[in-house]
Amino acid sequence: MDTPEGPPPERLRMLPSRLANHAAMTANRIVDRALAQAGVRRYHYALLAALEEYGPASQAALGRRIGIDRSDMVATVNELAERHVVERAPDPEDRRRNIVTITAEGRSLLTDLDRLIAAAQDEFLAPLPAADRRHLIDLLTRLAEHRD
């Protein structure tokens, strides 16, 4: 976290929020670089993971579940549909709504992406032994769940 000018002031170096933000930016860069190997972004991975775990869903429900804005969701589904990893069809109960389903190709891609994500997590957590990794995940989960 040092710059060419030296370290930031002590009161900044020890702020948990600043440290968490710095770690998150580093993790995001590592994950983005890993997913780029397969030509996808984090939104693509999140959408495929949600479809695989929870099954077909409307675009709106998927967007809410994984935290993607409605306009970004449309673009994300379009991109994945062009790659034939998801299918979009009108909802038989409400023709104004689309239902998105993962395809066999999507499941195969998701398996590949899981491997890339696992390697990215290992790269990010490389300085930590296994017990510290588990402890960090527990602490981050508790912080995230406390605010949700």
pLDDT more than 70, % of the chain: 98
Q: What are the boundaries of each domain within the chain?
A: 15-147
Q: Which amino acid is at 66?
A: I
Q: Please, which pLDDT band fits residue 1 given cuts at 50, 70 and 90? A: low
Do residues 103 and 86 lie in contact, with contact meaning Cβ atoms separated by under 8 Å? yes
The answer to pTM > 0.95 is no
Residue 92 per-residue DSSP state: T
Q: What is the C-alpha to C-alpha distance for residues 79 and 52, in angstroms, rounded to an integer? A: 17
- In what helix (H) or strand (E) does residue 139 lie, and over which residues does it extend? helix 130-147
pLDDT tens, position by position, 81-115: 999 999 999 988 888 889 999 999 999 999 999 99
Write down the CATH number for the domain with range 15-147: 1.10.10.10
Q: Is pLDDT above 70 for 46?
A: yes
Q: What is the C-alpha to C-alpha distance for residues 128 and 138, in angstroms, rounded to an integer? A: 14
pLDDT at 70: 87
